[in-house]
Amino acid sequence: MKVTGAVLPFLPFCQRLLPSRLAGLSLALLKATALEIAILAGHLLLYPSGITQERRTPAPALPTDGAAQLPTEAKPPVVLLHGFIDNRSVFVLLRRSLAQHGRQQIESLNYSPLTCDIRTAAELFSRHIEEVCERTGAPQVDVVGHSLGGLIARYYVQRLGGDTRVRTLVTLGTPHSGTRVVPLANAHPIVRQMRPGSPVLEELTRPAPGCRTHFVSFWSDLDHVMVPVEAACIDHPDLTAENVRVTGIGHLALPVHPAVANGIRQVLDTARPGEPSAGRAGGLTVA
């Protein structure tokens, strides 16, 4: 799957100044940076709309007219979990894409921007998942977590028994092995927990035999928040996991880009407990 953007008007000029390989990298970085800035501007406009928790709606009622229904496989609810200093508004486009392709139960959870501990956030997330399952009658859910949200969801699955509730966990730009970006940000305790070798990340390297959740990590080669970029990959011998490389976009674009949304839909529509998803075939390329 490949998506190409419009050619920049100064492409020929840049190609004359730089060697072709370096020019290609520089132009890709330039386009990714421009896209990140545009997404950030749009997200700042939407941010106020996502500050409050969304209204919970009951599960769709079953038909009562007695008409025969063709057997269909119910899709689990999808729970979306945002990243650091963010809120549910980051998922506006992804949510619309999922809804347009048959997901009737989609919910976003806001956690406090004052959250200082991944373990505490994971415990609160556990209660939310139980409430979703009770309200919808679904035994399991699928989860999509962006950045820190993916790490909170992974801790819940691995360390708090969440693998009984989470069928598939999709992470977008999540620092699974820790990121070294912006050392000065260490003043915030939750940032320290996202550093390589932190006690929280060390817990996630411990054995997790029999974990039933299927993990899929989308990571980008131009993710400026992941240092190194491979930090967003999952590498654990006990987990059923795959890493999908995304090229040409940055950290903020991961929950927004239509090609990534298409990849997420493929993963959620094909993943089964204990089975690899179709996302492994061919991967995902966004240029």
Does a structural domain hold residue 22? no
Q: State residue 73's pLDDT score.
A: 62
Give per-residue pLDDT as tens, 71-83.
346 789 999 999 9
Question: Domains in the chain: how many in total?
Answer: 1
User: Cα dihedral sign for 147, 124, 97, 158?
Assistant: positive
**In-domain check, residue 159:** yes
pLDDT at 88 over 70: yes
Q: Tell me the per-residue pLDDT of 107-120, one tens digit each, with 9 for 90 and over.
A: 998 887 788 999 99
Is the pLDDT at 39 greater than 60? The verdict is yes
- Whether residue 101 is contained in a domain is answered as yes
- Within-domain flag for 102: yes
125-176 pLDDT per residue, tens: 999 999 999 999 999 999 999 999 999 999 999 999 999 999 999 999 999 9
Domain of residue 87, CATH code: 3.40.50.1820
Quote the pTM value: 0.82
Identify the domain containing residue 86 by its residue range.
Answer: 45-50+76-280
The single-letter code of the amino acid at 110 is N
In tens, the pLDDT along 163-218 reads: 999 999 999 999 999 999 988 899 999 999 999 999 999 999 999 999 999 999 99
Among residues of the chain, what percentage have pLDDT more than 90?
A: 61
Query: Distance between CA 44 and CA 188 in Å, rounded?
Result: 22
Stronger pLDDT, 97 or 17, i.e. the higher one: 97
pLDDT of 57 reads 59
Does 70 fall in a domain? no
What average pLDDT does range 237-250 have in this prediction?
96
* pLDDT of the residue at 284: 54
Residue 245: inside a domain, yes or no? yes
The model's confidence at residue 55, banded by pLDDT at 50, 70 and 90, is low
Does 58 reside within a domain? no
**Is 80 exceeded by the pLDDT of residue 49?**
no
Q: Is residue 31 a part of any domain in this protein? A: no
